Amino acid sequence: MRMPKYAVPLSVIGTVAGCTVLLKDYMGGPRYRGNERIAGKTVVITGANTGIGKETAKELARRGGRIILACRDMDKCELVKKEIISETANKSIECRKLDLASLDSVRAFCETINASKYLIKKVTKFS
């Protein structure tokens, strides 16, 4: 009995697709479903006016943290701040100017944060 011509390409495609799904599941790990509160903690988020930074800021604001949005464009930052406050009812959101491409901007941001009345702990993970 002879194998059809399309059997080998289909089996290769199936094997690659199956390995991709298994690798994604293995490497991706389980989805995080925690709901810990972070009340009393301060979080600085860079690039918080768009994308993953914005969504991270929203989620941490829902959890009750004090959020500092560090952005280049202060107009966009203020819009995101209003959006986060309206969605989460957390009023502990601040906008601070930070341009990571400018060392002077980074220094000024650090001085502002260090002079802040809130304590920000340095988080270090040792393996």
What is the full DSSP assignment across 71-85?
Answer: ES-HHHHHHHHHHHH
Give the largest CA-CA distance in the chain.
Answer: 81
Ranges of each domain in the chain:
42-115
Confidence of residue 121 (pLDDT cuts 50, 70, 90): low
Residue 120 CA from chain centroid, whole number = 19
Task: pLDDT band for 77, please (50, 70, 90 cuts).
Answer: very high
Is the model's pLDDT at 45 over the cut of 90?
yes
pTM of the predicted structure, to 2 decimals: 0.69
Q: What was the pLDDT predicted at 89? A: 94
Q: In CATH terms, is domain 42-115 a member of 3.40.50.720?
A: yes
